[in-house]
Structure 1
Amino acid sequence: MSKPVLSNQIDSKPGQAPLATGFQRGRETGLPVPRFVSLKSRQARMRVGPSLDYATKWIYTAQGLPMEITEEYGHWRRVRDYAGTSGWMYGALLSGHRTGVIGPWLKTTAPLRTEADASATEIAALEARVRLTISSCDGKWCHVKLQKHDLAGYVRQGEIWGVYPGEVVK
């Protein structure tokens, strides 16, 4: 006698991956919300509301800075930066290119290692808020690059703001 196959009902359309717990589909794009993105532009204005009619709250001048989209409204995205500042940005200023920063909450440095293993050789000690390009994550470790210093290696996923705990990035 064979065992029954049990599954959960999943709210997803054909061709769409199921969403992780706590995520929804954006009402404009159908992409997961929240999700991490990065600044595409060298200069981007964060506004207090989703329109050019709203005042500028902050001007970012760091292309590639990670942002978290928390809401979609037309062509506008409500975003949050690693410091917790939130506001609205025009969607065209954002990219799906994954970047991150070493956790601003860390009291010590985060080791950049040669392999995804706590006993692997430490290449560098990364201080809080160091920017990274995320190549991939397996749910525990992320392979990252630091373009400015021509370095690459592995950092524990929990030490990075720009990926969710357990998230797999390919």
Structure 2
Amino acid sequence: MVNSGRFSGMQGLFRAVLLCLLVAMPASVSAEGPKRGAVTNLPLPRFVSLKSDKANVRRGPSLSHRIDWVFVRRGYPLEVIAEYGHWRRVRDVEGATGWLHYSLISGVRTALVTAENVDLFSRPDPASRLNAQAEKNVILRLLECNVSWCKVTADGQKGWVLKDGLWGVRPDEVLE
């Protein structure tokens, strides 16, 4: 019998369903569970923040690699996408990637405002009192998040903001 590449019968149906599930699965999740870093055993990808006011982003994971650019904002959110020894490959909001020494990043969670303005409400409800507004490119510290909202703080202001105006937290991520 020649395999035409098409699925047939119950076995074919099972394969089709399995293929659909694998295609729909997020890249950070495999059939065995979330992908983990070989060095830290922490989830990959994961969000972190910049610990320093100045951090050289290198082309590769060592001091001998060329510096491609420099981050200059403490608290800037980054996404760790790979690990190699004391180095972490990170991605920024624009999708640019490079390598940072692990001592330059922190587990403190922050998010960057990507919308023109976001409203900070007293509760996770748009009908609640408006506490403040944050403009595009403001860095907010994440305190907690539910499926749709995050409680944040910046410059002494606290409030709840909708996730869809932020970069640095996944749409379905819950932080406690």
Please classify the TM superposition score into its range, dividing by the shorter chain length: 0.7 to 0.9
Given the alignment of the two structures, is residue 143 of structure 1 paired with residue 151 of structure 2, yes or no? yes
Contact 2:132 2:159 in 1 (8 A): no
Report the secondary structure of 1:135's partner residue. Answer: strand
Deviation of the 1:67 alpha carbon: 0.6
Superposition misfits of 4+ residues, deviation over 4 angstroms: none
Count of residue correspondences: 146
1:23-34 pair list within 5 angstroms = 23-34=34-45
Q: Following the alignment from structure 1 to structure 2, what is the Cα–Cα distance between the partners of residues 143 and 156?
A: 9
Structure 2 match to 1:52: 63
Structure 1 match to 2:135: 127
In the alignment, residue 172 of structure 2 is paired with which amino acid?
A: G
In the alignment, residue 163 of structure 1 is paired with which amino acid?
A: V
Q: Following the alignment from structure 1 to structure 2, what is the Cα–Cα distance between the partners of residues 160 and 109?
A: 10
Q: Following the alignment from structure 1 to structure 2, what is the Cα–Cα distance between the partners of residues 138 and 125?
A: 20
Given the alignment of the two structures, is residue 40 of structure 1 paired with residue 33 of structure 2, yes or no? no
In the alignment, residue 44 of structure 1 is paired with which amino acid?
A: A
Deviation of the 1:137 alpha carbon: 0.5
Unaligned runs of 5+ in 2: 1-27
Given the alignment of the two structures, is residue 155 of structure 1 paired with residue 161 of structure 2, yes or no? yes
In the alignment, residue 38 of structure 2 is paired with which amino acid?
A: R
Q: CA RMSD in A?
A: 1.4
1:1-170 pair list within 5 angstroms = 21=29, 23-103=34-114, 106=115, 108-146=116-154, 148=155, 150-170=156-176
In the alignment, residue 142 of structure 1 is paired with which amino acid?
A: C
Contact 2:122 2:160 in 1 (8 A): yes
Unaligned runs of 5+ in 1: 1-19
Report the secondary structure of 1:32's partner residue. Answer: coil
Q: Which has the higher helix share?
A: 2
Task: Render the CA deviation track for 1:19-68: whole Å, top value 9, x for unaligned.
Answer: x7464111111000000001112211100111111110111121111110
TM-score (norm 1): 0.81
Q: Following the alignment from structure 1 to structure 2, what is the Cα–Cα distance between the partners of residues 119 and 34?
A: 34
Deviation of the 1:115 alpha carbon: 0.6
Q: Following the alignment from structure 1 to structure 2, what is the Cα–Cα distance between the partners of residues 26 and 145?
A: 29
Q: Following the alignment from structure 1 to structure 2, what is the Cα–Cα distance between the partners of residues 56 and 134?
A: 30
